[in-house]
């Protein structure tokens, strides 16, 4: 069958469906760029020679089936004029079709895909590991900063028995459920030596003005825990209590205040007062959602509540 010089640019899959005994085929001098294997399937058993010369053949990995056929029983006529077009893979453009070895060039793509896939898997695993251990890694980074800055820990010689109250917990009314369900049971289990605790406004000293009572408890507590939430930072009275605690940190030069974040609070919602306090490298913890992170949270909180450090302006921010 001679189909040369017909300006063919595409062969339908059914083109040779009725030519089961075809032995020689010429497709020379056309505009064919690619060859679908299913098109030649009806004549594959009978065809012995084919002429593909003077076609702008795009030599890429899709030609592997045809080239495997040409390396077997099928003879390529005018092979010197059967050239890969410039649209082919970079290394085979304008070279004879039979010089194109898809097993070599396309194998590189497979290797590249495997390498990229492996790299993507490793990246996902690494991100998962970092996220899963983010609290521990963050604390280790903080300790590294301390070591680089040459910070020496200065401890207050007094312990909780030297104070009227062990712990003072300042929180917003809407966060009381978390206090009663999480914080208070944890303190009872992990800090049984702390028995003189003030949980919120209900436990303040009776008979005193509200802010005077807050000031009295803060100044006579071994540790004050301030629980921050998005609702808390919007409350004026809550921020006044934070201000009182900040003033006592400055007065006593002791890190007796620990800030707990119950949730992520956007920077633009954190009042200037709180940002100013935290920017000085003051101790704070963030309540995580995962169980492992919560175990780390409790361990670090207990550690922070069992010693009083002297303030040091050389402490870097986390």
138, pLDDT greater than 90: no
- Decide: 109 and 61 in contact? Cβ < 8 Å: yes
Q: Are residues 190 and 267 in the same domain?
A: yes
* pLDDT of the residue at 112: 67
pLDDT at 180 > cutoff 80: yes
Q: Is the pLDDT of residue 295 over 80?
A: yes
Percent of residues, the chain, with pLDDT higher than 70: 86
Residue 225: which pLDDT band, with cuts at 50, 70 and 90?
A: very high
Q: Using the predicted structure, report yes or no on whether residue 103 has a pLDDT greater than 90.
A: no
Residue 313: predicted pLDDT:
44
Distance between CA atoms of residues 8 and 97, nearest Å: 19
Do 88 and 204 belong to one domain? no
**What pLDDT score does 318 carry?**
47
- Statement to judge: residues 186 and 281 lie in one domain: yes
Q: Which of 68, 100, 132 is the last residue of a domain?
A: 100
Q: Which of 100, 121, 139 is the last residue of a domain?
A: 100
What are the CB-based long-range contacts (under 8 Å, 24+) for 284-289? 284/258, 284/259, 284/260, 284/318, 285/258, 285/259, 285/260, 285/261, 286/135, 286/260, 286/261, 287/178, 287/260, 287/261, 287/262, 287/263, 288/135
Closest CA to 9 of 32, 26, 27: 32
Q: What is the CATH number of the domain that holds 245?
A: 3.40.50.10140
Same domain flag for 201 and 95: no
User: Does residue 146 carry a pLDDT above 70?
Assistant: no
Average pLDDT, integer, range 87-109 = 78
Q: How many angstroms separate the Cα of 211 from the Cα of each of 69, 218, 240?
A: 92, 10, 8
Q: Residue 173: is its pLDDT beyond 90?
A: yes
Which of 100, 117, 140 is at the close of a domain?
100
Q: What is the pLDDT of residue 117?
A: 84
Mean pLDDT throughout 168-186?
A: 94
Residue range(s) defining the domain that contains residue 249: 152-305
**CA distance linking residue 103 with residue 68, whole number of Å:** 10
Q: Is the pLDDT of residue 170 over 80?
A: yes
Give the pair of three-digit tokens for residue 74: 């099928």
Region 296-304: what's the mean pLDDT? Answer: 89
pLDDT at 230: 92
For 77, the 3-state DSSP assignment is strand
Query: What confidence tens digit (pLDDT) does each residue in 155-164 have?
Result: 555 678 889 9
The per-residue pLDDT of the chain, averaged, comes to 84
Looking at the domain assignment, is residue 107 inside a domain? no
What is the tally of structural domains in the chain? Answer: 2
- Taking alpha carbons only, the member of 51, 253, 288, 309 closest to residue 182 is 288
**Are residues 181 and 94 part of one domain?**
no
Say how far apart CA 71 and CA 25 lie, in whole Å. 17
User: Is residue 160 included in any domain, yes or no?
Assistant: yes
- 156 shares its domain with 296: yes
State how far the alpha carbon of 19 is from the alpha carbons of 72, 133, 218, in Å: 21, 67, 98
Kindly state whether residue 132 falls inside one of the protein's structural domains: no
Does this model's pTM top 0.85? My answer is no
The answer as to whether 89 is a domain residue is yes
Residue 252 scores a pLDDT above 50: yes
Report if residue 213 sits inside a domain: yes
Most confident of 104-113, 143-152, 253-262: 253-262
The mean pLDDT value for 209-225 works out to: 93
Q: What is the pLDDT of residues 77-97, one digit of tens each?
A: 998 899 999 888 877 888 898
Residues 160 and 92 in one domain: no
Res 193: pLDDT: 92
Residue 258 has pLDDT above 80, yes or no: yes
Which residue reads 């030069």 in tokens?
253
Classify residue 295: in a domain, yes or no.
Answer: yes
Q: Would you say 278 and 255 are in contact if contact means Cβ atoms under 8 Å apart?
A: no
Q: Could you tell me which residue, 280 or 23, shows the higher pLDDT?
A: 23
Instruction: Tell me which residue of 40, 24, 34, 2 sits closest to 75, measured CA to CA.
Output: 24
pLDDT at 109: 55
Residue 26, both tokens: 């010429």
Q: What is the pLDDT of residue 54?
A: 92
Looking at the fold, whether 65 and 164 belong to one and the same domain comes out as no
CA angle 22, 24, 30 (to 5 degrees): 110
Asked, for residue 147, whether it belongs to a domain, the answer is no
Q: How many CA atoms lie within 13 A of 161 on its CB side?
A: 2
pLDDT value for 162: 87
Contacts 24+ apart (CB under 8 A), 13-20: 13/38, 13/39, 15/39, 16/40, 16/42, 16/43, 17/42, 18/42, 19/43, 20/45, 20/46
């Amino acid at each position: 069958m001679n189909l040369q010089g017909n300006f063919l640019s595409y062969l339908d899959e059914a083109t040779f469906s009725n030519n089961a005994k075809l032995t020689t085929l010429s497709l020379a001098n056309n505009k064919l760029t690619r060859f679908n294997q299913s098109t030649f399937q009806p004549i594959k058993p009978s065809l012995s020679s084919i002429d593909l010369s003077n076609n702008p053949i795009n030599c890429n990995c899709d030609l592997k089936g045809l080239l495997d056929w040409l390396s077997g029983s099928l003879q390529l006529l005018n092979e010197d004029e059967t050239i890969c077009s410039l649209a082919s893979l970079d290394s085979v453009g304008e070279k004879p079709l039979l010089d194109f070895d898809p097993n070599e060039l396309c194998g590189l793509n497979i290797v590249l895909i495997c390498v990229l896939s492996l790299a993507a898997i490793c990246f996902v695993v690494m991100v998962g590991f970092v996220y899963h251990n983010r609290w521990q890694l963050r604390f280790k980074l903080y300790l590294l900063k301390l070591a680089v800055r040459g910070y020496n820990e200065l401890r207050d010689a007094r312990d909780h028995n030297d104070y009227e109250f062990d712990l003072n917990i300042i929180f917003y009314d809407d966060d009381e459920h978390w206090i009663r369900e999480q914080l208070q049971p944890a303190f009872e289990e992990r800090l049984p030596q702390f028995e003189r605790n003030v949980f919120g406004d209900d436990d303040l000293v009776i008979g005193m003005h509200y802010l005077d009572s807050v000031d009295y408890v803060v100044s006579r507590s071994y540790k004050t825990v301030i629980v921050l939430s998005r609702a808390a930072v919007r409350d004026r009275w809550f921020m006044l209590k934070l201000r009182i605690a900040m003033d006592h940190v400055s007065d006593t030069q002791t890190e007796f205040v620990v800030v707990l974040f119950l949730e992520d609070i956007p920077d633009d919602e954190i009042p200037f007062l709180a940002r100013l306090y935290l920017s000085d490298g003051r101790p704070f913890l963030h309540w995580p959602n995962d169980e492992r992170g919560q175990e780390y949270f409790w361990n670090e909180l207990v550690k922070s509540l069992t010693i009083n450090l002297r303030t040091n302006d050389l402490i870097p921010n986390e």
